[in-house]
């Protein structure tokens, strides 16, 4: 990567929240660096969240070799939302996107979100649930039912017609992200819900965008615990709205 690149020149900031992801982080960074190697239009922010393996060390090694890679570190576990917020606060690109380290959504899908922003959206939400979306491999029956039930409750509680709140693939204008991050209260898995509700209630235009999504094995999420936590946080967001 060219050392002449200066901070502040970036069109796009890509946030990768990670916790104990020493096995998947190298592949993710290699893929992103290869995708953006020619244009140099993106900075990649690894938001390392209280890992106890070599995730932070690996991220630092990539940053030492690639000027467009930046590492944000937290000694303590902040949660999915907390990690994303940490990364967002350091972003200098005109547009800011966060995506999962497992690359269930590939870098070539970023242009779909960018198109929605160019066409007038303030927040572009990647969706697995639109008719035009492509799921390359079906999720388990349990996960599918839980996801559909959660999103049904979201629409019932908040009357916001988003069909997939939890896809970890969203883009905002930088100034929008800076304002919304100051308002977010939920730092766990329901962060996405809080983000969408805060954006809607702040008058921002939200657009749901169909994507190609490929489920990846190796998730460390405990479904039963996550469902209870998200249900609690959904009620919390609704109560404090």
Q: Give the tens place of pLDDT for each residue, 181-234.
A: 999 999 988 999 999 999 999 999 999 999 999 988 765 556 667 778 888 999
Q: What is the dihedral of CA 148, 151, 152, 157, to 10 degrees?
A: 160
pLDDT band at 66 (very low <50, low <70, confident <90, very high): very high
Residue count (the chain): 241
% pLDDT > 70, the chain: 92
pLDDT of residue 27: 97
Q: Can you list the pairs that 65-70 forms with residues at least 24 positions away whose Cβ atoms lie under 8 Å?
A: 65/1, 66/1, 66/33, 67/1, 67/2, 67/3, 67/5, 68/1, 68/5, 68/10, 68/33, 68/36, 68/40, 68/42, 68/43, 68/44, 69/29, 69/33, 69/43, 69/44, 70/43, 70/44, 70/45, 70/46
Q: What is the pLDDT of residues 96-117, one digit of tens each?
A: 999 999 999 999 999 999 999 9
- Range from 35-44, 117-126, 216-225 carrying the lowest mean pLDDT: 216-225
d(CA 94, CA 91): 9
Mean pLDDT of 74-100: 94
């Amino acid at each position: 990567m060219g050392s002449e690149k200066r901070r502040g020149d970036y069109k796009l900031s890509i946030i990768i929240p990670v916790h104990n992801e020493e096995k998947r982080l190298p592949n993710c960074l290699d893929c992103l660096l290869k995708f953006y190697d020619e244009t140099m239009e993106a900075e990649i922010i690894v938001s390392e969240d209280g890992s106890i393996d070599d995730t932070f060390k690996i991220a630092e090694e990539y940053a030492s070799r690639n000027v467009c890679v930046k590492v944000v570190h937290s000694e303590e576990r902040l949660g999915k939302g907390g990690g994303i917020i940490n990364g967002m606060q350091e972003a200098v690109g005109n547009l800011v996107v966060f995506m999962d380290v497992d690359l269930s959504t590939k870098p070539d899908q970023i242009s779909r979100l960018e198109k929605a922003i160019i066409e007038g959206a303030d927040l572009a939400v990647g969706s697995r649930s639109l008719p035009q979306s492509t799921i390359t491999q079906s999720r388990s029956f349990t996960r599918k039912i839980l996801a559909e039930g959660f999103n049904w409750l979201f629409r019932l509680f908040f009357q916001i017609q988003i069909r997939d709140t939890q896809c970890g693939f969203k883009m905002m204008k930088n100034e929008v992200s800076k304002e919304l991050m100051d308002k977010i209260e939920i730092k766990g898995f329901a962060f996405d819900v809080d983000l969408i509700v805060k954006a809607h209630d702040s008058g921002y235009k939200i657009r749901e965008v169909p994507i190609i999504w490929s489920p990846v094995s190796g998730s460390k999420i405990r479904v039963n615990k996550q469902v209870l936590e998200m249900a609690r946080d959904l009620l919390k967001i609704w109560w404090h709205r």
